[in-house]
Amino acid sequence: MIQHLLHINHVSKHFGGNVAVSDISFSVDEKQIFGLIGPNGAGKTTLFNCISGFYPVTSGDIIFDNKTINNLRPDEVCHLGMARTWQRVKPLGSLTVLENVMIGAFSITNTTREAEEIAMEQLQLVGLTDFSKKSAGSLSIGLKKKLELARVLATHPKMLLLDEICGGLNHTETDTILAIIRDVRNKGATIVFIEHDMKAVTAVCDWIVVLNSGEKLAEGTPEVITRNPDVIAAYLGGGHNA
Amino acid sequence: MKQIILIAVIAGIAALLPLVIGDSPYFIGVLISVLMMAALSSAWNILGGYAGQYSFGHAAYFGSGAYTTMILISKFNFNPLVSMVAGIIVACIIALITGSIVFRLRGHYFGLASIAVAEIVRLSALNFDFTGGAQGILLTDVTLWGLDLNSKIPFYYGMLLVLVLTLGITLYLRTSKTGFYLQAIREDQDAAASLGINLSFYKNKALLISAALTSVLGSLYAVYIRFIDTSAVLDLRLSIEIILTAIIGGVGTLWGPVLGAVLLVPLAEILRSNVIGDALVKHGVVSETSGLGVFLKENLAHAHVLVYGIITVVCILYLPKGILGFFRRVK
């Protein structure tokens, strides 16, 4: 039986009079690769910040693994098994690549030795083993994105929230990351990812929700979404005749 | 492992030092100041250097230790060690109140609040009767285990012991989960929180460790000098000196604060005792009655704070990671 791992129930987020996210509902199933897409300012990252505990929601409920997580702090959300990456990468610059990933691993272990073992596994998975002793701040953007991925994987999450993990990468790098994402899913994790690049989204996603101006515009499989005239209009501008 | 050996070797050398230089009270006094500033700065470094939370009010914890100890010994005849433990408790209570309120906020709020709390503590000590007010507290007699507390030697080893303890704790933290978490908080609080780090818990933990060690040094200092008042143990100047020592030596490194103290405390002592000015006059380089001679004699002796300031500016401009950080980069 397929279970809903994450349930977004009529969630709204206002900043003063500004409505960033308005009455959004959807569910993410276990082991799904779930795409959250939409043009700039659609509210994708705001929604991520609400789910991961960085913003309190204005109204509605977020239910993860049968627990309401609206009022939890980010670290508590992480301990429930949900980990996120950042659109603007946040490497811990003066620490080494290995130490960065170890900090993720410390959420599931208390000993330095075990944290190092877990971290080395994740570095191998994303192909950063050779860079383990380098300072995280010195990496290129592509490698920093891989580091973000390794760091959240080290928390052994049930669900990963990836915010534009392919943004700013070239084709080869994107393909590598997408392959890692598929691999992680096959090992049992659920993935929600925000992406700009439609090609990347349609290549890996099982299900897509499209946001526009804070509202849910459409949802469905990649094939349905790419043929939806509203979605095409939102992406290419109104009046465009597909 | 390498660092443990280094701590042991340096502590060993420091332990033998009094035997080598004899019992000149003056030199032992300067060395005690070096050890104390090294330990104070290292304790500050746990919070400021590793967790990145700059406290500008560590004098509050130093003063808590000093005042608690002095009051308990002079008025209630407590054992000095018991008074020291009481001092730790007082310092931790002040730290917990400050931390639990202010650490919810990001940015410079903790720095600002730490100054405010330190000033509240200072003004309270200045105005209450039981703290002796502006007169301070004088300790006429104190005994512990039959040690000769009129000699400076027991305090030399006491300071050395606390310094080794502080360095040991720093070293342990650096290689443990807590140390990694503190550094993650220093680098990026959002990233740290998203990786499961309870920000206020770990910041408070670092503050408590730092405050407790600082308080122990305050107790030791008070019994050593046997007289305290607010300008000696609760002054903002002391808080600043602690920070500058760490910054100039190298913030967030194990040995930076120690190096800073080894360089700065003797330097301040040289300026204060006017060794340079006297030597120049004595060797006839400058005449005692000339303008420069008068300046050296009258003014330079009071200029150690100015020299600190200049060194700090130079360090921030050219050695932003401190002297130790600079040498690391060169290597």
Domains in chain A, start-ordered, CATH in brackets?
Answer: 1-29+42-78 (3.40.50.300), 81-206 (3.40.50.300), 208-242 (no CATH)
Cβ separation A95–B183 shorter than 8 A = yes
Instruction: Name the residue among B187, B193, B199 with its Cβ closest to that of A92.
Output: B187
Instruction: Name the residue among B181, B192, B194 with its Cβ closest to that of A84.
Output: B194
The model's pLDDT over A130-185, given as tens digits with 9 standing for 90+, comes to 998 999 889 888 889 999 999 999 999 999 999 988 888 888 888 888 999 999 99
Phi-psi domain of B250 (left: phi exceeds 0; alpha: psi -120 through 50; beta: other): left
Cβ separation B195–A83 shorter than 8 A = yes
Residue of A nearest to B198 (CA): A75
Query: Between the CA atoms of A118, A120, A121 and A122, what dihedral angle is there, to the nearest 10 degrees?
Result: 90
Cβ separation A112–B183 shorter than 8 A = no
The alpha carbon of residue B186 is apart from the nearest alpha carbon of chain A, in Å, by 9
Q: Enumerate chain B positions whose Cβ falls within 8 A of a Cβ in A.
A: 175-177, 180-181, 183-184, 187-188, 190-199, 252
pLDDT of residue B226: 87
Q: Which of B194, B205, B253, B328 to mutate to test the interface with A (most CBs of A within 10 A)?
A: B194
pLDDT of residue A237: 65
Tokens of A94: 């003066």
Q: Which amino acid is at B214?
A: T
Which residues, including other chains, have CB under 8 Å from residue A112's CB and lie 6 or more apart? A102, B175, B176, B177, B180
pLDDT of residue B331: 44
Cβ separation B183–A92 shorter than 8 A = yes
pLDDT of residue B268: 81
Q: How many angstroms separate the CA atoms of A80 and B120, rounded?
A: 41
Cβ separation A155–B190 shorter than 8 A = no
Tell me the chain A residues in contact with residue B191 when contact means C-beta distances shorter than 8 Å.
86, 90-92
Mean pLDDT of A10-39: 90
Q: How many angstroms separate the CA atoms of A4 and A159, rounded?
A: 12
Per-residue pLDDT of chain B (331 residues; tens, 9 = 90+): 788 888 888 888 887 888 787 778 888 888 999 999 999 999 999 999 999 999 999 999 999 999 999 999 888 888 888 889 999 999 999 999 988 888 887 778 888 888 999 999 999 988 888 887 778 787 877 777 767 777 788 899 999 999 999 999 999 999 999 999 999 999 999 999 999 999 999 999 999 999 999 999 999 999 998 888 888 888 888 998 899 899 888 888 899 999 999 988 888 888 777 776 677 777 777 777 777 777 766 666 667 777 778 888 888 888 877 888 777 655 4
The C-alpha angle B200, B100, B220, rounded to 5 degrees, equals 105
Cβ separation B187–A52 shorter than 8 A = no
How many CB pairs (< 8 A) connect A and B? 82
pLDDT of residue A55: 92
Residue A240 scores a pLDDT above 60: no
Q: Enumerate chain A positions whose Cβ falls within 8 A of a Cβ in B.
A: 52-54, 73-76, 78-79, 83-84, 86, 90-95, 99, 102-104, 106-107, 110-112, 115, 151-152, 155
Residue of A nearest to B191 (CA): A90
Residues B259/B250, Cβ–Cβ less than 8 Å: yes
Residue of B nearest to A112 (CA): B176
DSSP symbols for chain A: ---EEEEEEEEEEEETTEEEEEEEEEEEETT-EEEEE-STTSSHHHHHHHHTTSS--SEEEEEETTEE-TT--HHHHHHTTEEE--SS----TTSBHHHHHHHHHTTT-S-HHHHHHHHHHHHHHHT-GGGTTSBGGGS-HHHHHHHHHHHHHTT--SEEEEESTTTT--HHHHHHHHHHHHHHHHTT-EEEEE-S-HHHHHHH-SEEEEEETTEEEEEE-HHHHHH-HHHHHHHH-TT---
Tokens of B33: 């100041």
B303 to B184, B243, B280, B295, B298: CA distances (angstroms)? 39, 19, 17, 11, 10
Tokens of B139: 């300790």
Tokens of B172: 């342990």
Residue A1 scores a pLDDT above 60: no
Which residues on adjacent β-strands are paired with residue A211?
Answer: A216
Nearest by Cα to B115 from B57, B74, B65: B57
> What whole-number percentage of chain A has pLDDT above 70?
96
Model confidence band, residue A115 (pLDDT cutoffs 50, 70, 90): very high
Residue of A nearest to B175 (CA): A112
Tell me the chain B residues in contact with residue A83 when contact means C-beta distances shorter than 8 Å.
194-196
Q: Which of A52, A73, A75 to mutate to test the interface with B (most CBs of B within 10 A)?
A: A75
φ, ψ of residue B120 in degrees (nearest 5): -60, -45
Q: Which of A48, A72, A76, A90 to mutate to test the interface with B (most CBs of B within 10 A)?
A: A90
Tell me the chain B residues in contact with residue A104 when contact means C-beta distances shorter than 8 Å.
195-196
Residue B97 burial (CB count, 10 A): 11
Mean pLDDT of A66-76: 91
What's the pTM value of the predicted model, to 2 decimals? 0.87
Q: How many angstroms separate the CA atoms of A235 and A240, rounded?
A: 10
Cβ separation B187–A94 shorter than 8 A = yes
pLDDT greater at residue A188 or residue B16 = A188
Residue A232 scores a pLDDT above 50: yes
Nearest by Cα to A146 from A180, A119, A120: A180
Cβ separation A92–B188 shorter than 8 A = yes
φ, ψ of residue A153 in degrees (nearest 5): -65, -30
